[in-house]
Amino acid sequence: MRLIVYLPLLIPLLAALGARPVAVRLHPRDAVWLLTGTAVVLAGATAVALGLLAATAVIRIPLVASLGHWSQGVLGRDDPAGTATAVAAGLVLGVLTLLAGRFAAGRGRALVDAFRHARSLPGTGDVVVSGDDGADAYALPGRPGRIVVTAGMLDALDADGRAALLAHERAHLDGRHYVFTSASRLAAAANPLLRPLAVQVEFAVERWADEQAAAALGDRTLVARTIATAAVTAKRHRAHRRIAAALGIGGSRANLRAMAGAGPVPRRVAALLAPPPARRLLLIAATCAVAGLAGLCAIEAARDLHNLLEAASTIHHRQ
């Protein structure tokens, strides 16, 4: 195996540095798809690279080598992965697999709870008004999905603002944004270096919903004003924790902090007060190239291991 096996472990660092520029400069729909896909590809490439490195330790075990009919002399020759490195890679892969499994189980339970809660809400329409005085609004995925809005939030908005708020939450449901946030967070659980990508996906899905609401109403300023009003109101009345908070849309802890006046809200308002973002094909191509490079490196590393085993098998049978 060549040193190429280590590149899938290093490329996520580059992707993490470029995540925010991608989220800011691209149309949010493009950014969500691109960042989510990149995170999934890089997480997979990382797992493959770690698995290949760990395999170099396993195949050097005399019993395993004899069962595979491989020459131990060939297996230990010209291999950049020392035994200590290979064992460490196996341990890291095991830990990351457990973390990813734990996240997947937790997110799965949250989705089941969300679907059940959506079915249990009163009424037949897609909007459910809660009598809570706190300012809150969120999209709840299900069959069908529901939008929950508190009386406190409705009181803080005029008729146009309520229309903008509901258009934003409907965009979350129509776009199934919880799928993107779940996939990116699962990738980040499998490789913590990808957490910046998951954070930017959660920001970009909010921007995507903002843009869809602005397009539906034909008024970007109205949506910007509604976001600002909701942020100020939520700062006064801290939102309650809820099932949707576990899904990364319309109520994650990061988004609630944003509603309390952190950086993402001013960025969203500024983006809406500017012209709609254009599609930047060069940036899309560059990001795809980074993800593709990691995938190709993992494939080449797997091919190297295959060639190594074939050579070891050939030499063994000649001895």
Average pLDDT over residues 296-311: 79
Q: How far apart are CA 286 and CA 87, in angstroms?
A: 34
CB-CB contact of 207 with 268 (8 Å): yes
Q: Taking a C-beta distance cutoff of 8 angstroms, is the pair 188, 198 a contact?
A: yes
By the 8 A CB rule, do 30 and 279 touch? Answer: yes
pLDDT at position 255, please? 44
Least confident of 142-146, 166-170, 184-188, 262-266: 262-266
What are the two backbone dihedrals, phi and then psi, of residue 236, each rounded to the nearest 5 degrees? -75, -35
Measured CA to CA, the distance from residue 260 to residue 239 in angstroms comes to 10
Query: Over the stretch 87-104, which tens digit does the pLDDT of each residue have?
Result: 898 999 999 999 999 999
- Tens-place pLDDT, residues 153-180: 898 899 999 999 999 999 999 999 999 9
Cβ contact 198:185 at 8 Å: yes
Per residue in 17-40, pLDDT tens?
A: 999 999 989 999 999 999 999 999
